[in-house]
Amino acid sequence: MTVRLATSNDIPALLQLIRRVVPLMQASGNFQWDDQYPNAAVFENDIALNQLWIAERDGKPVGVAAITTDQEPEYAQVGWDLSETALVVHRLAVDPAVRGRGIAALLLAQADEVARQRSIDVLRIDTNTQNEATQRLFPKAGYVFAGEIGLGFRPGLRFYCYEKRLNLS
């Protein structure tokens, strides 16, 4: 298994992956994503900014994560200082056919590596309150629960925020 930056050539496979993930999310009550988001334009933007990473197995994308410095303004609701540079993981997804094999953890480890390369010692992430898998995963990866927020662009949904601090000194 390898993790690498995504290219535009990966977009069709990533959209297929998302089409497999979204129905399972929604069946468990997690309506964070739908048939409109994430979409090709979002992935194209991530690729243009060199912030979309994929986990690849046998030449096929089996996981994806955007590793950005984009913090939602609502993060301030949990007491985070938004003027502090943080690496933020968005759009984390794993192909349902290969769940439970450490792919999401591998992508989170890539976020740690990107943070170290950029000398950023704070990592942040949010997840829908209905996403029990990520609520188990994030603490295992060293993230600490910080609180619950709403996000303006996803009205009616609630999100848990998590933070991880690296010791870079």
Q: Of 71, 52, 63, 59, which is closest to residue 126 (Cα–Cα)? A: 71
| Residue 30 to residues 90, 121, 125, 168, Cα–Cα distance (Å) | 16, 30, 16, 35
- pLDDT value at 152 more than 80: no
Phi/psi at 38 (5° precision): -75, 155
pLDDT in tens, 84-124: 999 999 999 999 999 889 999 999 999 999 999 999 999 99
Q: In DSSP terms, which residues pair with 144 in a beta bridge?
A: 163
Reported as a single tens digit per residue, the pLDDT across 8-63 is 999 999 999 999 998 888 888 777 788 888 999 999 999 999 999 999 999 999 99
**Segments of 51-115 assigned E as strands:** 52-57, 60-68, 87-94
Q: What is the pLDDT of residue 30?
A: 78
Which amino acid is residue 91, in one-letter code?
R
- Which residue range is the domain that position 9 belongs to? 2-165
CATH code: domain of residue 130? 3.40.630.30
Number of domains in the chain: 1
